A and B are shown apart, each in its own frame.
Chain A
């Protein structure tokens, strides 16, 4: 009999849960953005007005962080499934890890510090 454990922060069961809960947040966020863009004309002014409030900056930062976590878990499984050679696997992992970490730092920094409207 298999017993699932949530104790390991990077175990399969926890990854499975992360994937679902990040997805839930992204669904709500994206639905709101799409509805906003449907009803307001899309211009620089309305785009900045949408993204300017503090709560929106926070929500967008959280969205991007969760998206990167979601994408990282997903891409790990894809790499595991299709790349057979361990060296190549380690190399792709390293490149993708670099890509994700840069974005993980850059996006909240941009939204919270650089972006002032």
Chain B
């Protein structure tokens, strides 16, 4: 019926930068959702006692936890900044293609820099 050629091979499609930011917004959202039980649990343990606070902090010294933690922090920063951009777009700020590309690049760079800053501190 439909003779049009289809190409849904994701590896051959080059996404524009706003699309990458958009899909990363979604992916980071899913990651944050899946790690939320750990966040809430760690949050409450860290407030219970000095011992609990130390336990949570030393838990982050384990390398798998540290890797996930860095991923999570990056995800939160990305989700936060891309979300702000999205709210601005809803108010029809930055809808022009050139500005939209510029702000999406800004989102990527800023979230990367902020994650690096958290790691350094």
Give chain A's interface residues, CB within 8 Å of chain B: 20, 23-24, 27, 30, 44, 47-48, 51, 64, 67-68, 71, 74-75, 78, 96, 99, 102-103, 106-107, 110, 114-115, 117
Contacts and interface: CB of A to CB of B under 8 A. Distances in A.
Contacts of A115: 44, 47-48
Nearest to A96: B33
16 contacts: A23-B83, A24-B87, A48-B47, A67-B36, A71-B32, A71-B33, A74-B26, A74-B29, A75-B33, A78-B26, A78-B29, A78-B30, A106-B40, A107-B44, A110-B44, A117-B47
Contact of A99 (B29, B37, B43, B48): B37
Nearest to A67: B36
A71 B84 contact: no
Contacts of B30: 75, 78
A27 B90 CA distance: 16
A102 B36 CA distance: 11
Nearest to A72: B33
B48 A27 contact: no
Contacts of B44: 106-107, 110, 114-115
Contacts of B47: 47-48, 51, 115, 117
Contact of B53 (A47, A68, A110): A47
A103 B36 CA distance: 9
Interface string B16-45: 000000000010011011001100100110
Nearest to B30: A78
Given A74-B33, A78-B30, A99-B36, 13 more contacts: A20-B90, A27-B80, A30-B80, A47-B47, A47-B53, A64-B40, A68-B36, A75-B29, A78-B26, A96-B33, A102-B37, A103-B40, A115-B47
A44 B80 contact: no
Contacts of B48: 115
A51 B84 CA distance: 25
Nearest to B114: A34
B115 interface: no
A107 B41 CA distance: 9
